[in-house]
Amino acid sequence: MHSLNVDLGERSYPILIGSGLIASPEHILPYIRGRQALVVTNETIAPLYLERILQSLSGLDRVDSIELPDGEAFKTLDTVNRIFDTLLHNRHDRGTTIIALGGGVVGDMSGFAAACYQRGVDFIQVPTTLLSQVDSSVGGKTGVNHPLGKNMIGAFYQPQLVLVDIDTLTTLPDRELSAGIAEVIKYGMICDAPFFTWLEENMDRLLARDPVALAYAIEKSCASKAEVVADDERESGRRAILNFGHTFGHAIEAVQGYGNWLHGEAVAAGMVMAAELSCLRDWISVEDVQRLRRLLERANLPLASPADMTVEDYLQAMAVDKKVQNGQLRLVLLRALGDAHIVSDTPKPLLIETLQKCGAK
């Protein structure tokens, strides 16, 4: 087992990475401060892993669970209200711990519910998808979608523990694995060029679910994110580099309908757009962009805009992105491979040229 720490002073917490952790009480019970817990999962994950984690929690006085519908389309306030209903019906007090067992949707909603219930209760992340293991479970971003924008309603709220059991990746569909690899590639692009080279050399091992390669990629990704989050917990500055490709990607998700494109798929296309725009600004080379394109293609990820999206679709969706400040769109672009910066002076003609080059009508 590997252990990392997200250093946030009194809100610091560990990330534990290993095999068989869900079924190991010694890895989860020490981080539960009360005697109650609610496990939040979904109808896909529950048959696979719910019983294992309930066994690990059997030493508590009361453990309840709730199975939510699966999918980004259900990441709403209405679904979060079902979590509140369960907590209240079963008389969970301020000492309870909410445990998120699932992917990013479950984790984001569980964390938001924990931030709100009785003005804040503990929660633990047990991510079961690669994307959630390397991204959404770490850093304390919680929330739900709104029809006009992704993750526009939420709170910064840190977990007590992130428990990454890589055994859960054995049941992950190939498409979901690829979507998670998109976020892994992101870390190489924004802050770790040697890791990007490692991914070029080891992509086949990741796709084959080699446990050693997966554990290494997860640890490197989590270490990168933990370092950035410790430096800027509430995204007032540097943390925004973690959104490389996401402004374009969130536009794709919002316009296409949440769930039709997986988050990682939309981010993959968005990273190509961000890289192409960086190239148009003469900050990275054409070869740098081609390296990204080749790696994403090997990971079975999309490289271009959905065929039915227009430039205007993007511009309207991006206008309500969380990174817009004082009416200015801020984008994460690359000054070099492994060196991301937040930029707010992108000329609109270059933005339009990029969108058109990447397939927008």
Q: Taking the domains of the chain in order of start, what are their residue ranges?
A: 2-170, 174-357
Tokens representing 50? Answer: 């719910």
Catalytic residue of the set 75, 92, 220, 225: 225
Any catalytic annotation for residue 246? yes
- 10-residue mean pLDDT series, the chain (361 residues): 91 95 95 96 97 96 96 93 98 97 96 97 97 92 87 93 96 96 96 97 97 96 92 83 93 87 95 96 96 97 94 89 68 94 90 92 87
Query: What contacts 268, CB < 8 A, 6 or more positions away?
Result: 179, 182, 185, 245, 249, 296, 299, 301, 302, 303
What is the reported pLDDT for 169? 96
Give strand ranges (E) for 22-148: 36-42, 62-68, 97-102, 122-127, 141-146
Rounded Cα distance between 278 and 301, Å, is: 20
**Among this protein's residues, is 263 annotated catalytic?**
yes
Establish whether 250 is a catalytic residue: yes
- Euclidean distance between CA atoms 330 and 110, whole angstroms: 29
Determine which one of 27, 92, 220, 250 is catalytic: 250
Q: How far apart are CA 39 and CA 75, in angstroms?
A: 17
Residues 243, 276, 293, 323: which is the catalytic one? 243
Specify the CATH number for 2-170; select among 3.40.50.1100, 3.40.50.1970, 2.102.10.10, 3.30.420.40: 3.40.50.1970
Q: Do the domains 174-357 and 2-170 match in fold?
A: no
Residue 63 structure tokens:
């453990």
Which pLDDT value is given to residue 324? 64
Beta bridge partner(s), residue 37: 63, 97
Give the count of beta carbons closer than 10 Å to the beta carbon of residue 287: 10
Q: What is the CATH number of domain 174-357?
A: 1.20.1090.10
| Residue 72 token pair | 């980004």
Catalytic residue at 225? yes
SS3 110: helix
Spot the catalytic one: 27, 239, 291, 293: 239
Distance of CA 91 to the CA centre of its chain: 31
Report d(CA 330, CA 309) in Å as an integer: 21
Q: What is the pTM of this model?
A: 0.90
146 is a catalytic site residue:
no
| d(C-alpha 285, C-alpha 195), whole Å | 19
3-state secondary structure of 225: helix
C-beta separation of 344 from 290 below 8 A: no
278 three-class SS: helix
Q: Which of 26, 89, 119, 201 is catalytic?
A: 119
Catalytic annotation, pick one of 72, 176, 183, 276: 183
Catalytic residue, chosen from 150, 186, 220, 246, is 246
State how far the Cα of 174 lies from the Cα of 176, in Å rounded to an integer.
5
Residues linked to residue 144 through DSSP beta bridges, in sequence order: 153
CB 235 within 8 A of CB 154: no
Catalytic residue among 176, 235, 253, 276: 235
CA 292 to chain centre: 20
Q: How many CB atoms lie within 10 A of CB 333?
A: 22
